[in-house]
Amino acid sequence: MARSRPGPLPAVLMAFLIMAVVPEVFGAAAGTLSGTPGGGEAPGAPVREARIVREYPHDRNAYTQGLLFRAGFIYESTGLHGRSTLREVTPESGTVRRVHRMPDDQFGEGLALCGERLIQLTWRSGVIHVYDRKSFRLRGSFPYPREGWGLACDGKRLIASDGTDRLHVLDPRTFRTLRSVAVTDAGRPVSRLNELEFVEGRILANVWGSDRIARIHPDSGRVEGWIDLAALRQRLRGTTAETANGIAWDAARRRLLVTGKLWPLLFDVNIDGLDR
């Protein structure tokens, strides 16, 4: 996510930004992204390719900021001023079943589910919203002390990103910060952490401006591996799709569902070298 968000970027400009941002994000030359050392530096975490299992339709106008799976449905937070929403979506058809529209002056961000409470961040409004999942009723809005980017729940606590290299662990009731951890790959900070998902004891994080997902140890902040979404980007050629941003885990079927900002598709992916 850019530090200034005027709206969707043209595809050519987005491609240029990705090329410019990647070295800054990973703190080294492109060789480091592949897990090989660059300039005498220690090798980064290993990279595994995401392979497409299935494709599903996705609203190409949805500026996806948060994504999760529960009870057969996708729950999605979308952004942009005047267009931000909370949605319930049927993943196989892309049908939007329910929508809660946010105030025009708020920019929707990360989304997490703790119990039956949907918790949604805003970018710079200094507020966090809590909804009942089944009714979509707004249960309350609470102060939030930093920029909202990504959000996930590990079953007991919230984990939030703010566009830096730090993840913040929050109390899911009071939203008080319990601790923070710096995210690194081979000792180098990994910044612009964005949308988050908690999967089998690890945090998966999109990195703004990159088509890679970091797999992070929640206690140490160490990146243990990268998921390369190059196959998905190839499939999106000729569209206005922007950066990858949206990870949902279907634990019962062991499906990893991935999408992004203004992506016309939601992908069910398998990770090279890992059992499905």
Q: Give residue 182's identity as a one-letter amino acid code.
A: A
Q: Is residue 51 in some structural domain?
A: yes
User: Which pLDDT score is estimated for 43?
Assistant: 82
Q: Which residues pair with 169 in a beta bridge?
A: 159, 179
| Integer Cα distance of 31 and 22 in angstroms | 11
Mean pLDDT of 54-80: 97
Write out pLDDT tens, residues 173-200: 999 999 999 999 999 999 999 999 999 9
Q: Is residue 5 part of a domain?
A: no
91 closest CA partner among 62, 112, 70: 70
Q: How buried is 4 (Cβ within 10 angstroms: 0-12 exposed, 13-18 middle, 19+ buried)?
A: exposed
Q: What is the pLDDT of residue 10?
A: 53
**What is the per-residue pLDDT for 202?**
97
Closest C-alpha among 21, 35, 76 to residue 260: 76
Per-residue pLDDT averaged across 137-154, rounded?
A: 96
Q: How far is CA 33 from the centre of its chain?
A: 19
Tally of domains within the chain: 1
- Assign 30 a pLDDT band (cuts: 50, 70, 90): very low
Residue 69 has pLDDT above 70, yes or no: yes
Range of the domain at 104: 11-271
What local confidence, expressed as pLDDT, does residue 125 receive?
97
Assign 274 a pLDDT band (cuts: 50, 70, 90): low
Q: Which CATH number does the domain housing residue 247 bear?
A: 2.120.10.30
- Supply the mean pLDDT for the chain: 88
Asked whether residue 237 is domain-assigned, the answer is yes
Whether the CB-CB separation of 209 and 245 falls below 8 Å is answered with no
DSSP 106-172: --EEEEEEETTEEEEEESSSSEEEEEETTT--EEEEEE--S----EEE-SSSEEEE-SSSEEEEE-T
pTM given for the model: 0.85
The residue that leads in pLDDT, 254 or 15, is: 254
